[in-house]
């Protein structure tokens, strides 16, 4: 190599002292106490999502159709997979469906000066306590850690007291809006209060692979409501009778286990069963109503069925839960989708309120809770279906009535 060329390369690879002397000096760092106190770490905002609140005029046949309209409920009919039973053809097994709708958003504290109902406050405080327990980083050996673990255990037990159908029934808002604004809108100019307008329409979306006609689906839906009502009535009697026993056990165990839990779990079971029986009776009655007042729209509940290719994701998800519960009875299900894919398929997103500053932490919490709810409800449904299929294998005629 040319010696002159080598010297040039050596100078180019090793910075000289003149280079450092000629480099521009760093800007002077000044300390501003007020700015330092206000400075916060900057994090990039999550990808912007469209609001999940849908207009009541939206076409239900569109792929994304979930809505939080209090007068219109969108629910999803997910067919249970046919089991592999000994000596029984899958075609002879009656088609049954899980009915699912996402839970309502977390309850919020009332505005300043607005009165809050006692039941609403109790539910809101419990939701806040559960959130605090699930997000806590306290050590398990500490008092806060033990209390948080107890809270999470009680919350899980409360969820398992309700069947999958009872979960759906308790999410039907038959009474419409509650609160001062609703009552104010229901008052006419003469000061006479009218009946609050509640649920007016129920849209049931199902996979387009289902071959049943809308009339057949309606018959199955009504029969499912009737079966749920009968079971809820029985459970309400049992749960109500156990309330004194649960309270007595909690009192006896106070010194050993100060957090209680049995009474709360039994109370939720009783309350959910009573409410479920009431709602199922209301829904079936309004579906068969002939409008005694002469106003057909006020006395009847409009029921419609709509196929959607997007519901295939929920179909596969339920098949996966059934396979996990009993791989022998449900040997194959294909690729299991995630909870995120299921929520995207139905167009669900965190609740939004116009004019409010978005809270990413609240949105993340709400999303995590709905994902957990989807997994819990469909897991319960898979266990219930497995139990029913085994009963059908033993006595088909008796099982059909349940």
Structural contact between residues 312 and 369, judged by C-beta atoms closer than 8 angstroms: no
Q: What are the residues whose beta carbons fall under 8 Å from the beta carbon of 340, sequence distance 6 or more?
A: 371
Quick one: tokens of 276? Answer: 């479920």
Residue 45: count of CB within 10 angstroms of its CB: 8
**Alpha-carbon span 64 to 347, nearest angstrom:** 4
Nearest to 178 by CA among 170, 190, 186: 186
Residue 142: count of CB within 10 angstroms of its CB: 11
Quick one: tokens of 32? Answer: 């501003």
pLDDT per residue as tens, the chain (402 positions) = 544 444 444 444 444 433 333 444 444 444 443 444 344 444 344 444 433 334 334 444 454 468 888 888 999 999 999 999 988 998 899 999 999 999 999 988 888 888 888 888 888 888 888 898 888 888 877 877 887 888 888 888 888 888 899 999 999 987 755 543 443 333 333 333 344 557 888 899 999 999 899 999 999 999 998 898 888 888 888 778 877 877 776 677 666 666 666 777 777 878 888 888 888 888 888 886 544 444 555 578 889 898 988 899 999 999 999 999 999 999 876 788 999 999 999 989 888 655 556 788 899 999 999 999 999 999 999 999 999 999 999 999 899 888
**Alpha-carbon span 268 to 257, nearest angstrom:** 20
In angstroms, what CA-CA distances link 9 with 6, 19, 20, 22?
Answer: 5, 16, 19, 20
pTM of this structure? 0.73
In angstroms, what CA-CA distances link 40 with 13, 34, 200, 360?
Answer: 40, 12, 48, 16
**Alpha-carbon span 307 to 325, nearest angstrom:** 28
Kindly list the strands in the beta sheet with 97-100, ordered across the sheet, starting from the edge strand earlier in the chain.
Answer: 97-100, 72-79, 201-207, 302-308
**Alpha-carbon span 372 to 290, nearest angstrom:** 40
Residue owning tokens 């009697």: 237
Structural contact between residues 154 and 259, judged by C-beta atoms closer than 8 angstroms: yes
Sign of CA dihedral 296, 299, 304, 310: positive
State whether residue 74 is helix, strand or coil.
strand
């Amino acid at each position: 190599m040319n010696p002159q060329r080598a010297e040039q390369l050596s100078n180019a690879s090793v910075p000289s002292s003149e280079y450092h002397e000629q480099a521009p000096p760093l800007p002077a760092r000044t300390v501003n106490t007020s700015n330092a106190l206000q400075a916060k770490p900057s994090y990039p905002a999550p990808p912007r999502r469209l609001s999940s609140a849908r207009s009541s005029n939206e076409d239900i046949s569109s792929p994304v159709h979930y809505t939080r309209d209090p007068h219109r409920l969108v629910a999803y009919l997910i067919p249970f997979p046919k089991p592999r039973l000994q000596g029984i053809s899958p075609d002879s097994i009656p088609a049954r469906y899980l009915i699912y709708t996402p839970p309502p958003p977390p309850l919020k504290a009332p505005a300043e000066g607005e009165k809050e109902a006692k039941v609403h406050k109790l539910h809101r405080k419990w939701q806040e306590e559960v959130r605090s327990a699930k997000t806590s980083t306290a050590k398990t050996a500490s008092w806060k850690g033990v209390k948080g673990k107890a809270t999470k255990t009680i919350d899980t037990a409360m969820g398992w007291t309700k069947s999958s159908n009872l979960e759906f029934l308790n999410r039907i808002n038959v009474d419409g809006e509650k609160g001062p604004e609703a009552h104010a809108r229901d008052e006419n100019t003469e000061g006479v209060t009218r009946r609050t307008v509640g649920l007016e329409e129920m849209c049931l979306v199902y996979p387009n692979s289902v071959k049943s006609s809308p009339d057949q689906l309606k018959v199955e839906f009504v029969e499912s409501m009737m079966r749920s009502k009968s079971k809820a009535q029985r459970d309400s009697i049992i749960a109500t009778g156990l309330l004194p026993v649960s309270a007595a056990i909690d009192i006896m165990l106070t010194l050993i286990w100060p957090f209680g839990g049995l009474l709360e779990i039994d109370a939720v079971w009783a309350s959910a069963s009573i409410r479920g029986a009431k709602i199922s009776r209301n829904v079936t009655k309004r579906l068969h109503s002939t409008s005694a007042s002469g106003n057909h729209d006020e006395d009847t509940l409009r029921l419609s069925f709509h196929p959607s290719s997007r519901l295939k994701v929920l179909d596969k998800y339920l098949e996966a839960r059934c396979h996990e519960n009993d791989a022998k009875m449900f040997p194959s299900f294909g690729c299991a989708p995630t909870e995120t894919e299921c929520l995207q398929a139905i167009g669900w997103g965190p609740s939004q309120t116009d004019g409010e500053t978005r809270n990413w932490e609240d949105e993340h919490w709400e999303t995590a809770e709905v994902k957990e709810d989807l997994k819990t409800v469909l897991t319960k449904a898979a266990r219930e279906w497995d139990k029913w299929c085994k009963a059908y294998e033993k006595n088909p005629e008796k099982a059909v009535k349940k």
